[in-house]
Amino acid sequence: MVRVKVCGLTNEEDIDAAVHAGVDAVGVVVGFSSSPRNMTLDAASRLFRRVPPFVCKVLVTTVDIVKRETDTIKRLAPCAIQIYGEVERPAFIRERTGASLILPFRVGGGKGPEKEKVRQFDAVLTDTYDSTALGGTGRVSDWNFCRALRDEITPIPLILSGGLNPRNVAEAVRVVEPYAVDVSSGVELSPGKKDMSKMKEFVKEVRRASW
């Protein structure tokens, strides 16, 4: 069964709605001041406290924040950190925080991530390349490339993101057969505000395509 992560959650109401929709993981963004979904670590802590057992809490942040706020992040107890920037010692960060590490990779340059680097992470998340943004572009990735990348990095799990929404996610799942899918803007009413009905429909389409 393909897992579902809803990312860019900014308020308790949307956390509750995502959990009610049946997602497997929720993501909170910290450290990206230009993003309308950006939160502080204190706000992330409040949101994570709303997440029940068996739903994964994912902190989406930067290497600099992890280095500077390691103790605070450890208290947040995320099950995974989606970490942006040059990670020199993934094993050390994993040990210090107690969290799995997700390597973001922007699809569009024609090459995959270095195999040696991939082996140091617990999963790879694809997004669409944009020269002005590290992620969350809302643009559809090359699914055939993502499928080839999935095959190349196995058994490391691949998380597919990039322009997914309730209308196209079933086809994306069929083409790529990822471990999980990740959505943010595709289930929103406006930047940072989720749509309950879209989240429910997204989860339903993923489950339908997974069987």
Domains of the chain, start order: 3-210 (3.20.20.70)
Taking the C-alpha atoms of residue 207 and residue 199, their distance in angstroms, rounded to an integer, is 12
Q: Is 196 exposed, middle or buried (0-12, 13-18, 19+ CB in 10 A)?
A: middle
Q: Establish whether 14 is a catalytic residue.
A: no
Taking the C-alpha atoms of residue 45 and residue 30, their distance in angstroms, rounded to an integer, is 11
Tell whether the model's pLDDT for residue 127 goes beyond 90.
no
Q: Is 69 exposed, middle or buried (0-12, 13-18, 19+ CB in 10 A)?
A: middle
Tell whether the model's pLDDT for residue 131 goes beyond 50.
no
Check residue 136 and give its pLDDT.
55
Residues 14, 127, 146, 182: which is the catalytic one?
Answer: 127
Residues 7, 14, 146, 182: which is the catalytic one?
Answer: 7
Mean pLDDT estimate for the chain: 93
Mind listing the pLDDT tens digit for each residue in 162-201? 999 999 999 999 999 999 999 999 999 999 999 999 999 9
For the entire predicted model, the pTM comes to 0.94
Check residue 106 and give its pLDDT.
87
Mind listing the pLDDT tens digit for each residue in 57-90? 999 999 999 999 999 999 999 999 999 999 999 9
pLDDT mean over 117-138: 75
Mind listing the pLDDT tens digit for each residue in 98-113? 999 999 998 876 677 8
Q: Establish whether 56 is a catalytic residue.
A: no
Query: Which two structure tokens, joined as six digits, stand for 17?
Result: 């709605």
Kindly state the percentage of the chain with pLDDT values over 70. 94
pLDDT mean over 20-31: 98
HSE (side-chain half, CA atoms, 13 Å) at 93 = 29
